[in-house]
């Protein structure tokens, strides 16, 4: 379950995210190049010196003994040569750093599935280890329950696996964000947009999530609460008529890592780490299903679902009375009078 250790001087265990990213062929070379460029940029910036230092030394010498130092010109020329060299280096390394960052962004979009495959393998191993542990923890949800059931050690092991699963899902969000979010270097390393977070949490944890969470969908898991919230807008005090709040947590993202892991190990749940195409395809399929259901509901006529009285065998429904036909004709065609 522990990710492999790094080779070389640094033998600390790789994080889940770093281990998954190591599967992106070419990423290590780009990161090494970026580190080297960043180091040279720092050195070049620190090498730049102001000429005012020479001016201050000249003023001190003049005020002290009335003489001008003999090496003033050489010092100024040396500073200018150093500064010109540093500025020339910055002029080359700055664009080089930007191009490397662009390549890193492109690599994340092209190779995201490689990293997700590594996470999928990690998830399979994690669930295989978790199932026998969780089977020994029926009704155990916290440390007190574990003490009462004499399952403290098992509960600790299961809790470690649950935390490991939470870190795995965090790495999954970052990798998906690097593929789908705007080309922003900071987002590749840390931040994930709310849209990507919802996409992964809704469709990236289990297959066919709507079977276990019918409320799934954009805005479907929130309810409108009428309140009077005041805020300042364009210099005026306004009152908001409503706010949104969650109705019910997804059973696989409740905030309790152990409960979430319990859900993922159920027999009727198929946990997964999908590829980018599978993830967006699951979202599109769900949205199409919701649209089809909405169209069917809109086309349903009143009374379509009302139970019809059973007819006896060999008998037909009697014709409608004349009065009913006359009334329907007037409603459809208008009263002749």
Average pLDDT in the 201-205 region? 96
Average pLDDT in the 247-255 region? 87
Domain containing 278 equals: 16-213+250-297
Q: What is the pLDDT of residue 10?
A: 41
> Backbone phi, then psi, for 118, in 5-degree steps?
-65, -40
pLDDT at residue 238 tops 70 = no
Q: What is the pLDDT of residue 111?
A: 93
Contact yes or no for 51/76 (Cβ under 8 A) = yes
Is the residue at 73 inside a domain?
A: yes
Q: What is the pLDDT of residue 306?
A: 58
* CA 302 remoteness from chain centre: 43
Is the residue at 30 inside a domain?
A: yes
Q: What is the pLDDT of residue 273?
A: 97
- In tens, the pLDDT along 132-178 reads 999 999 888 888 888 988 889 999 999 999 999 999 999 999 999 98
Average pLDDT in the 42-49 region? 94
Is the residue at 2 inside a domain?
A: no
Is the residue at 312 inside a domain?
A: no
Is the residue at 91 inside a domain?
A: yes
Query: Which residues is 231 bridged to in the sheet?
Result: 238
pTM over 0.85: no
Percentage of the chain modeled with pLDDT above 90:
50
Average pLDDT in the 242-254 region? 72
Per-residue pLDDT band at 6 (split at 50, 70, 90): very low
Q: What is the pLDDT of residue 130?
A: 96
pLDDT at residue 29 tops 80 = yes
DSSP per-residue letters across 263-325:
HHTSTT--B----HHHHHHHHHHHHHHHHHHHHHHHHPPTTTTSPPPPPPTT--PPPPPHHHH
Task: Calculate the alpha carbon distances from 96 to 88, 89, 99, 239 in Å.
Answer: 13, 11, 5, 51
Query: Among 11-15, 94-98, 171-175, 293-297, which is the least confidently predicted range?
Result: 11-15
Average pLDDT in the 42-47 region? 95
Is the residue at 53 inside a domain?
A: yes
Q: What is the pLDDT of residue 120?
A: 97
Q: What is the pLDDT of residue 77?
A: 93
Is the residue at 84 inside a domain?
A: yes
Is the residue at 303 inside a domain?
A: no
Q: How many structural domains comprise the chain?
A: 1
- In tens, the pLDDT along 265-307 reads 999 999 999 999 999 999 999 999 888 888 887 777 665 565 6
DSSP per-residue letters across 204-271:
SSBSSGGGT-TT-STTTTEEEEEEEEEEEETTEEEEEEEEEEESS--TT-SS-HHHHHHHHTSTT--B
- In tens, the pLDDT along 311-327 reads 555 556 666 677 777 77
């Amino acid at each position: 379950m522990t990710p492999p250790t790094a080779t070389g001087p640094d033998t600390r265990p790789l994080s889940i995210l770093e281990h998954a990213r190591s599967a992106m062929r070419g990423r290590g070379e780009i990161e090494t190049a970026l580190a080297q460029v960043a180091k040279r940029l720092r050195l070049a910036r620190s090498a730049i010196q102001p000429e005012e230092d020479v001016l201050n030394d000249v003023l001190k010498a003049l005020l002290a003994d009335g003489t001008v130092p003999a090496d003033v010109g050489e010092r100024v020329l040396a500073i200018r040569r150093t500064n010109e060299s540093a500025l020339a280096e910055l002029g080359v390394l700055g664009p080089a750093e930007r191009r490397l960052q662009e390549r890193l962004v492109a690599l994340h979009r092209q190779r995201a599935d490689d990293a997700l495959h590594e996470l999928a393998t990690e998830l399979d191993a994690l669930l295989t280890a978790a199932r026998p542990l969780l089977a020994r923890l029926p009704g155990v949800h916290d440390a007190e329950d574990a003490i009462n059931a004499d399952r403290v050690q098992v509960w600790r092991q299961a809790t470690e696996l649950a935390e490991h699963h939470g870190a795995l899902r965090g790495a999954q969000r970052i990798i998906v964000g690097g593929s789908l979010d705007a080309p922003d270097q900071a987002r590749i390393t840390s931040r994930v947009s709310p849209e990507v977070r919802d996409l992964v949490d809704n469709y990236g944890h289990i297959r066919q999530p709507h079977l276990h969470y019918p409320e799934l969908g954009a805005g479907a898991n929130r309810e409108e609460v009428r309140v009077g919230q005041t805020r300042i807008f364009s210099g005026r005090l306004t009152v908001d008529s409503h706010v949104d709040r969650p109705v019910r947590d997804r059973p696989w993202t409740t905030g309790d890592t152990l409960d979430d892991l319990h859900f993922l190990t159920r027999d009727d749940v198929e946990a997964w780490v999908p590829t980018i195409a599978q993830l967006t395809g699951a979202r599109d399929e769900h949205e199409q299903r919701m649209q089809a259901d909405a169209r069917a509901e809109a086309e349903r006529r009143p009374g379509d679902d009302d139970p019809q009285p059973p007819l006896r065998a060999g008998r037909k429904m009697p014709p409608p009375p004349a009065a009913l036909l006359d009334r329907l004709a007037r409603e459809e065609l208008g009263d002749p009078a």
